[in-house]
Amino acid sequence: MKLTRILGAAALTLGLSSAAFAADITGAGATFPAPVYQAWAVAYKDKSGTGLNYQSIGSGAGQTQIFNRTVDFGASDAPVAGDKLAAQKLLQFPAVIGSVVAIVNLDGIAANQLNLTGPVLADIYLGKITKWNDPKIAALNKGSQLPDLAIVPVYRSDGSGTTFVFASYLSAVSPEWKSNVGAATSVQWPAGAGGKGNEGVAGTVKNTKGAIGYVEYIYASSNSLITTQLQNKAGKFVAPTVPSFQAAAANADWAGAKDFAASMIDTPGETTWPITSATFILLPKEPKSGPQAAEVIKFFDWAFKDGGSIAEKLHYIPLPADVANRVRDAWKTEVKFDGKPVWTN
């Protein structure tokens, strides 16, 4: 399964042209938001003539590329720590909101039929729950015929912001996970098999009976993979849907978040999806080229103004308007070339 297949389907769904991108702006990093960035790129190219070449290589690699200034912007699902942002002279801002979902490959189980809790999910990835008919899973799914089949946990083998989001959730719901594994773009997985990128995890789960994995929602929906329900902080089992993602985003503390790193992990609310997160752009505060930095800002300004419907069709959540305006203020005050703001709109 290739990302290009998802992007091609997305372009057709959105009614966009498939013209080749001009490599006018370059970015690299997270696979989590790659479908929406590429769909935005097609629409923006048609409108402005400015192209985007975005490399979907994972958050860790994206951070490295922008640290080395080999791209115009980096993209990371994991927010970068404030001291590292300062040392690298980078502005961090959110671009869009997405959600991570659990996917399974089990005969006889339909989408959102299987119920899981955070602690049970953590125990699966800790290697403590190894069969699908384990009593802890069976107790959550009375009436379902769960097989006596080995569970194959699938995880990201590359440095990944999606892993950071998923591991942050497991840390929030499982003290044992928090103390023994923790949350980072790469962790020491106690059990399972690795796949590269969201594409690799989705493909491995799709081809492995008994597998469970975690991916950004677009990768599950585009490949007709079987998602599960999760129990949220209010104790309700919820399905991964745009309204449940929106409910989580509405509870984020944007005003109190340093460097825009607001958490949407396991937030309160009866309808909230518990694994929701913003994904971030890393832009040099002192770019090598003022006009090039201005083009990056113009792209994301357009995305905030006109890209919301594209994002929603791909099951992402646009930034709240007040957050987008805070980002615009940061562009004006923090991104400068030869001491002058590169963007003043």
Q: Which domains, ranges and CATH numbers included, belong to the chain?
A: 3-98+276-341 (3.40.190.10), 100-249 (3.40.190.10)
Model confidence pLDDT, tens digit, residues 221-239: 888 899 999 999 999 999 9
Model confidence pLDDT, tens digit, residues 308-327: 999 999 989 999 899 999 99
Kindly indicate the confidence band of residue 279, based on its pLDDT and cuts at 50, 70 and 90. very high
User: What residue has token string 């309808």?
Assistant: 271
Model confidence pLDDT, tens digit, residues 4-47: 444 444 444 454 433 333 348 999 998 889 999 999 999 999 99
Res 88: pLDDT: 98
Backbone angle region of 223, left / alpha / beta, with phi > 0 → left and psi within -120 to 50 → alpha: alpha
Model confidence pLDDT, tens digit, residues 142-192: 989 899 999 999 999 987 888 999 999 999 999 999 999 999 989 999 999
**SS3 readout for the chain:** CCHHHHHHHHHHHHCCCCCCCCCCEEEEECCCCHHHHHHHHHHHHHHHCCCEEEEECCHHHHHHHHHCCCCCEEEECCCCCHHHHHHHCEEEEEEEEEEEEEEECCCCCCCCCCEECHHHHHHHHCCCCCECCCHHHHHHCCCCCCCCCECEEEEECCCCHHHHHHHHHHHHHCHHHHHHCCCCCCCCCCCCEEECHHHHHHHHHHCCCCEEEEEEHHHHHHCCCEECEEECCCCCEECCCHHHHHHHHHCCCCCCCHHHCCCCECCCCCCCCCEEEEEEEEEECCCCCHHHHHHHHHHHHHHHHHCHHHHHHCCCECCCHHHHHHHHHHHHHHCEECCEECCCC
Model confidence pLDDT, tens digit, residues 36-90: 999 999 999 999 999 999 999 888 899 999 999 999 999 998 899 999 999 999 9
Cα gap 217→95, rounded to integer Å: 17
User: What residue has token string 């192209």?
Assistant: 51
